[in-house]
Amino acid sequence: MSEVRVAGVGLTPFGNSPERTGRDLFAEATIAAFEDASVPREDIEEVLYGNFMGEIAEHQGHQGPLMADAAGVDAPATRYEAACASSATAVRDAVARIRSGQADVLLVGGAERMSNLGTGGATEALAIAADDLWEVRAGMTFPAAYALMAEAYFETYGGDSEDLAHVAVKNHANAVENDYAQYQREITVEDVLEAPRVATPLGLYDSCPISDGASALVLVSESYADRKGLDASVAITGSGQGGDRMALQDRETMARTPAASEASEKAYDDAGIGPEEVGVAEVHDCFTIAEVLAIEAIGLASEGEGIAAAREGRTTVEGEVPVNLSGGLKAKGHPVGATGVSQLAELTKLLRGDHPHGDRVEDADVGVAHNAGGTVASAVVHVLEVVA
């Protein structure tokens, strides 16, 4: 089985760019990825591309070949859709193809154009990742859904809005040095608690922004990296995916995310490690409660203890396992189709040491990325390790 190496990563700044098309954004990310990888475009065998709302935001389906063309690549291309976990799902397939020997060099990425829809339009577009018959038609939006999950967590394990505020404060502080982040400014606990409520108990600063952006990875086999003399010291050693019932009402509990637990167990088993070996993590914090649920699901906090992790400093840049040093979805931004690959790009740079926070985790050689779709009806987890 061939080892999967990350040869290069590329990102656009995440933010509000309503005038830019998805293909424009993806082209920029791929230019950066190819420059970072020192891999010629003609060596790419396939393009695997994540996108969620292209038909709505750009009236554009069949985006695979369109994005291959934008990247300057002449190769078969496929679009992947799993709501907010779209590009991580593409990575999972890419890992399987390289490991099996079906491919040596793949371009994997994602992009989303959202701000051109406006707040109302983007909220409506995002909502279709929920159950239309039993949730969307009843008026459910994702802020409301995660508010229900937060209330269920508080009722089951304790905690309150102030605990969640520490998650937002931490991630905004992490984003200050990240040139790709949408919000490069610090906030206080008071800012979070005094902000307008979006869906009680969640307020404006508990929520990720509407974002435009793109991300890309050049993934290669170990044998290709050796033949070409590439500096590809980070490998994807574990990959796992989990699922759950679509509608919240059909689940056993709203205070846990079993899909993410399943995905992480598979990823850790695949990599041959345990969560105690993880030195840094990027998790799906579309809302502050989502980070709490995520770190418990992937084994970085015990059940019921994730709520206090940020407040106690366990997940800060100086903590036991820093979480979301990029700023997370909360402050870096969340262009849905780009997010999963963006997490892997950030982790790769952290593990290589060329990230703004690289010196803070210089002893870390294992990272984990957690990407969720909807209210975690889909979840994908990847393990990255320094191997050379």
- Residues carrying an active site annotation: 84, 334
Neighbours of 3 (CB within 10 A): 18
Q: Are 380 and 110 in contact (CB under 8 A)?
A: no
Distance CA 197, CA 35 (A): 43
Max Cα distance, the chain (Å): 57
End-to-end Cα spacing for the chain = 18
Question: For residue 326, what are its two tokens?
Answer: 């990029």
Sorted by sequence, the CB contacts under 8 Å of residue 132 that are 6+ apart come out as none
Listed in order, strand segments (DSSP E) in 174-212 are: 197-199, 202-203
- Bridge pairing between strands 105-112 and 46-50: parallel
Q: How far is CA 249 from CA 140, 146, 363, in A?
A: 12, 13, 43
Radius of gyration of the chain measured on its C-alpha atoms: 19
Q: Are 300 and 340 in contact (CB under 8 A)?
A: no
Q: How far is CA 285 from CA 69, 148, 332, 334, in A?
A: 32, 16, 10, 9
Q: Name the packing angle between helices 22-37 and 63-70 (round to 10°).
A: 50
Chain centroid to Cα 32, Å, comes to 19
Q: Are 39 and 381 in contact (CB under 8 A)?
A: no
Phi, psi (degrees; rounded to nearest 5) at 313: 85, 10
Q: Is the dihedral of CA 279, 354, 182, 130 positive or negative?
A: negative
